Structure 1
Amino acid sequence: MALTVSKLNQFLFFKLPAAFWCGVRVKEISGTQCVVSVKHRWANQNPFNSMYFAVQAMAAELSTGAMVIDQIAQSGKKISMLVANNKSNFSKKATGRITFVCQDGDLIAAAIAKTIADGAGQTFWMKSIGTNEKGEQVSEMDFEWSVRMK
C-alpha cells in the first residue's frame, strides 16, 4: 500500500513535530517524485528575515526520505534507513513559499533490491531543489541515504 500525502503529513505531526510546526507539508508523492512545501513565516525565520537553513533542510530531506519510506514499505522487508551525509548550497534568500522537489525516486528500488539480495548495506545520493514562488532556485540539497536489512 503506497503512502499518501495525508498519511505523510499526519506522520509529521506525530513523529516530526518540529517540521510540522515550522510548516513543512508534503504536497505530492509518487514512485519517482516528491514535492514538499514550506512558507517563510515568523516561526521559521532567521535573523536576516528569510527562512532558517534547518527548516529548508527538513523540507528537502522529507522530499527524498518520503520516497525511501514508501519503497521500503512496499518491499515488505524489515529495512533500516539513515541519512549518512548531506550537502547543501544556498543561492538566494528563501522568502515566501519554498517548494522542494526530488525526482530521484528511481534510485531507491535498485538499492533496496541489492540490500535484500545480498544483505549488505547500500548507499545512494538523492537531490532536492528548492524554488521560490517565482520559480527561482534558492537552495539545492543532496542527501546520501543508507539502507540495510535489519
Structure 2
Amino acid sequence: FLDVFRSCQRVPLLGPTLFSTYIRLAAPYSGSVSPRITVFTPGHCRIELEERWALRNPFSSIHALALLNAGELSTGMAFLSLTQDMGRRAIITKLSGTYKKKARGTVFAECTIPQDMQAWLAAGGSGPKMVKSTIKNLQGEVVAECEAEWTV
C-alpha cells in the first residue's frame, strides 16, 4: 500500500483522493465510511472522517461503529505497512472501542506503531500484538479510542 500511496501523492491535489478511492476498492467495508487517508508512512497512518448523514446515529453525531471502522483501518494500515515489506501477513483477531464524547464534524483516526513493536516485527516476532488508534475532533479532543489485536 505504501508504494501506491507514494505514487498517488505525485498527482497534485488529487493524490489523497486517488489513494482513498483505491482503499475503498481494496477494502469495501472499510471504504463504506469514506475514509480519507491524509498521512501514511511506515508504522503511521492518519485517516480523516467527515460527518455526513449516512454516518450519523439518532443522537446527531457520528455513529460509534463508523468511528471504530476508521480506527481499525488506521491500525491495520500502520501495522501492515511494516509487515508487508518483510513478506509477512497479519490478521485482526480482536477489536474494541471506547467512546469519550459525541463525535461531530470532521474527526481524525491516528495510529503510530511504537518503536518497541517495530523492533519486535523486524526481529521476526510472531503472535498477537495490541495496536491503538486515537480518534480526535478538530479541536484536538479525544472522542474515541480503538484497540485492535493484530496477529502475525
> Could you say whether these structures have the same fold, taking a TM-score greater than 0.5 normalized by the shorter chain as the test?
yes
Moved more, 84-93 or 106-115: 106-115
Deviation of the 1:68 alpha carbon: 2.3
Where does 1:54-93 land on structure 2 (aligned, <5 Å)?
54-75=65-86, 77=87, 79-93=88-102
Classify the secondary structure of the residue corresponding to 2:59: coil
Say if 1:22 and 1:55, in contact at 8 Å, map to a contact too: yes
Per-residue displacement from partner, 1:11-47 (whole Å, max 9, x unpaired)?
4221223432422121101223211110111011111
Determine the structure 2 residue equivalent to 1:2. 2
State how far apart, in whole Å, the 1-side matches of 2:21 and 2:81 are: 15
- Which of the residues 127, 130, 133 maps onto 1:125? 130
Q: Secondary structure at the match of 2:91?
A: strand
Which deviates the most, 25-34 or 128-137? 25-34
- Tell me what 2:140 maps to: 135
Stretches of structure 1 that go unaligned for 5 or more consecutive residues are 116-120
CA distance in structure 2 between the partners assigned to 1:112 and 1:92 by the alignment: 37
Alpha-carbon spacing, 1:86–1:19, altered in 2? closer, same or farther (3 Å): closer
**Segment drifting more, 81-90 vs 2-11:** 2-11
TM-score computed with the length of structure 2 as normaliser: 0.80
Which structure 2 residue ranges, 5 or more long, are not aligned? 9-17
Please give the alpha-carbon distance, in whole angstroms, between the structure 2 residues aligned to 1:26 and 1:2: 12
Q: Tell me the distance in 1 between the aligned counterparts of 2:38 and 2:26.
A: 18
Q: Please, what is the CA RMSD of the aligned residues?
A: 2.2
